[in-house]
A and B are shown apart, each in its own frame.
Chain A
Amino acid sequence: MSLQKGFMPKLIIDNIAVEVAEGVTVLEAAQSVGIHIPHFCWHPALGKAGACRVCAVKMVDGPVKGIQMSCMLPAQDGMVVSTTDQEAMAMRRQVIEWLMINHPHDCPVCDEGGECQLQDYTIAGGHGLRSYTGKKRTHINQYLGPHIEHEMNRCIQCYRCVRFYQEFAGGTDFGVMGSAGRIYYGRVEGGQLESPFSGNLVDICPTGVFTDKTARFRARYWDYDMAPSVCPHCSLGCNTVPAARYRELLKIVARRNDAVNGWFICDKGRFTNSVVNDPARPRYPLVDGRKVGWDEALDNLLLRIREFGAVHGPESLAIVGSSRLAMEAATLLYRLFAGIAAGSLCYFTLEEEADQARAAITHLNDATSASMGDVQEADLIALVDCDLLQDGPMMALAVRQAWRKGAKIFLVENDVAPEAQKGLPFEWQSVSLLSDIPIREARKPVIICGRGKGMQDVAPALTSGVKLAYLLGGPNAFGAALLSAGHGATTLAQAVASGKVKGILAVEVDIPPELLQGISFIAALDWRATAIVKAAHIVLPTTAWVEMDGTYINNEGRAQRFKKVMHPGLPIMGLDPAGHPPRRHETAPPGGEPRPAWQVVADIIERTGTERDVQPLSGQWQWLRHLDAESPGQRIWQNMKQVK
């Protein structure tokens, strides 16, 4: 065996020759050629523990012989591995049976049933009937907060939860106790889990010890409406799979994207379903609070706009988009602006958010933009004006991974409130100026800029090799900034300050009440019950991100497609007072009127008569149409020659 660098061990697994990098385990080597070896404790993000013993393989020939745990054994030259050997199969089958000795008989009332790794392997291992007649060990469960349900009787002691919680996510309030068959995973005292990444315990547990309490007893895996999606709750664009059933968003699980969120997502992205299921959501087009059909509402809107133009002049109307508006609608806003000859086009409301996004599109390019994957690989990280846990919790997790590998973390002192730094899952050094950080000495330095005022000072620190990451205001802030710069748009705050804005057409935007003083006409397109929707004269309901296909450009300039998960409409639960679904047939779901924002904008444009058959994402944005939601996304610089 040679230890020289670049040496690639060659081994044979099930008669297939495999060549892998040094240090790769036999289990990973097998996976690289499509041979799946069962495993519980091994996880690609957490590595090995050797706790479950279910990945047994037979080493037929080579430096090691006999039954071995493939997750613990680095691939070595000359190994001949059999995963289908009788002895190995018997071992795996018996391990499954041992693991099942104490596992309760409660799959029908377990939310993991149907998506349970233990269930799958038990069935696959042929362990259909229990032959052990002894009694099972039981545990007392703990209250772990409103999001996570604890059921320790189901535990198979794989240590995944505690390895994730303590090692990967840096949580301190959850751990492992006891010994032997009495091992207990929990807190010292019951109480809410403190880590902002605790929801990942649900994903990572191979069985049903941790289940999503918010979706408790609601549906089964095979009944979910699921599609690849992107989290809209911050600018990082973590990949998710929302799961819906009966027109209700039940839960969200993480989707792997190594360049963005890796295997995990934060609790904010996971447990914020209520906005979609909110009973107060605008469901019908409203004109002065009266429910009307789409045609009437759109006709009325144009009539009002014309009347408004006659009184105040069309230039006193502002069209306002936002950083949470998907690219499809955002690209159409300019055409609407031109179509009705409005006075102002705004993609941002407040100056601060716009400045920061402008800085991002100015300083970032394909070489300088740091993805979260890059952050994890960095050896020096400078945090400038960051409130990581508020504006991008997954970035904090990425920084922790770099820190675990030995990266130095510097925090530039600033006016972000000091309590924001509490609970950051890594250690850092405080410096007063960015220039105090020895950036030039690092091989892979990354500067992460938050939403404070100090980030204008970043520019001098930029030298070759330094990567930058920004935490922006919304899931599509980057795209909105590109459009804003391209169309020379202002912010709403500026437009209002100039005094000429008398009417607002708000497209999925939250506008603070102080900007609404002196506005005589408001029309709002939104799917959230925001203050401006309540104040609007005309409300046009749009679909939430899980109810449509769309595109967001995240903080690093990565365009990602999300797919429609569910149909818009009132959840079936609660439609009929008798408790069951209505006993009459309808062709359309009640409350299913919301349309994607781009479609509503396109309808308005078509009604102005300036354009026909309006399609989103035309011109320089056309490449976004062919984006694959299953792919890791594409950075804009790879697809657009000239980004303005």
Chain B
Amino acid sequence: MSVINDTKAIVIGMWTTWKHIFRRPVTLQYPEEKRIPYPRYRARIVLTRDPDGGERCVACYLCSAACPVDCISMQSAATEEGRRYALWFRINFSRCIFCGLCAEACPTMAIQMTPDFEICNRDIMNLVYEKEDLLIDGCGKSPEYNFYHHAGIGVTQRRGAGLEEKPPVDVRSLMP
């Protein structure tokens, strides 16, 4: 009968909550007790460098396009050797929701998230990070990856000298 079933359901529910009253709370008293987040925790964003020390970010605008709150802005430019880089790169952490879509969108593994979540500040402008605040001296996760070695257009190496590339074609050759 539904009345019995319903009553039973309510009683079971009440019994469950009753048991929980006497359980040890899981709360951590945050400022005094700190929890170490996992390495893949999604907090403060950094820009990493490739193993050769060059900036990984090529300012492709994919992170700013992926960002649902439009907190990333940048201007791309070219260095003299033709390497694309971010002339300026700005993340407004007062707007950021730490969703991780930017890091997911990044094709060069440049933008990565760190477990450092304690970046609160009373002045909003202190939460607007420029490129020099974001750029770190390290590779972060995936330490071997170097985008330009796979890109297939040279830039950091001779054309045709990258991984998975043949040497350049001699267009004047008559060989089949």
Contact = CB atoms under 8 A, between A and B. Distances in A.
A251 B89 CA distance: 22
Interface stretch (A132-140, A160-168, A332-340, A535-543): A132-140
Interface string B98-139: 000000000110000000000000000100101100000000
Interface in A204-227: 216-220, 222-223
Interface in B117-176: 125, 128, 130-131, 147, 150-155, 159-160, 164-169, 171-173, 176
Nearest to B151: A106
Contact of B169 (A178, A223, A573, A583): A178
Main secondary structure of the interface of B (DSSP, over half): mixed
Contacts of A108: 58, 60, 62, 84, 107-108, 147, 151
B125 A135 contact: no
Contact of A223 (B61, B77, B173): B61
A607 interface: no
A246 interface: yes
Contacts of B173: 178, 182
A113 B151 CA distance: 14
A153 interface: yes
Given A106-B151, A184-B169, A217 B78 contact: yes
B103 to A, nearest CB: 14
Contacts of B167: 138
Nearest to B57: A108
B65 interface: yes
B41 interface: no
Nearest to A180: B176
Interface of B: 58-62, 64-65, 73, 75-78, 84, 87-90, 107-108, 125, 128, 130-131, 147, 150-155, 159-160, 164-169, 171-173, 176
A581 interface: yes
Main secondary structure of the interface of A (DSSP, over half): loop
A580 B169 contact: no
Given A109-B58, A583-B125, 6 more contacts: A108-B108, A138-B165, A138-B167, A177-B172, A217-B78, A219-B76
A138 B78 contact: no
Interface string A235-252: 000000000001000000
B165 A139 contact: no
A151 interface: yes
B158 to A, nearest CB: 10
Contact of B150 (A105, A135, A137): A105
A146 B161 CA distance: 27
A222 B65 contact: yes
A220 B166 CA distance: 30
A106 B84 CA distance: 11
A579 interface: yes
Contacts of B107: 107-108
A151 B87 contact: no
> Considering residues A106, A107, A133, A219, which has the most beta carbons from chain B within 10 angstroms of its beta carbon?
A106
A175 to B, nearest CB: 11
B2 to A, nearest CB: 50
Given A106-B153, A220-B65, A579-B87, A138 B58 contact: no
Interface string A101-140: 0011111110001100000000000000000011111111
A464 interface: no
Contact of A137 (B76, B87, B131, B166): B166
Contact of A109 (B125, B151, B171): B151
Nearest to B159: A138
B153 A151 contact: yes
Interface string A583-612: 100000000000000000000000000000
B90 A581 contact: yes
A2 interface: no
A471 to B, nearest CB: 38
A139 B164 contact: no
A578 B132 CA distance: 11
Contacts of A140: 159, 168
B88 A139 contact: no
Contacts of B90: 580-581
A100 B37 CA distance: 41
A573 B87 contact: yes
Contacts of A642: none
A437 to B, nearest CB: 45
B160 A579 contact: no
B150 A139 contact: no
A179 interface: yes
B127 to A, nearest CB: 12
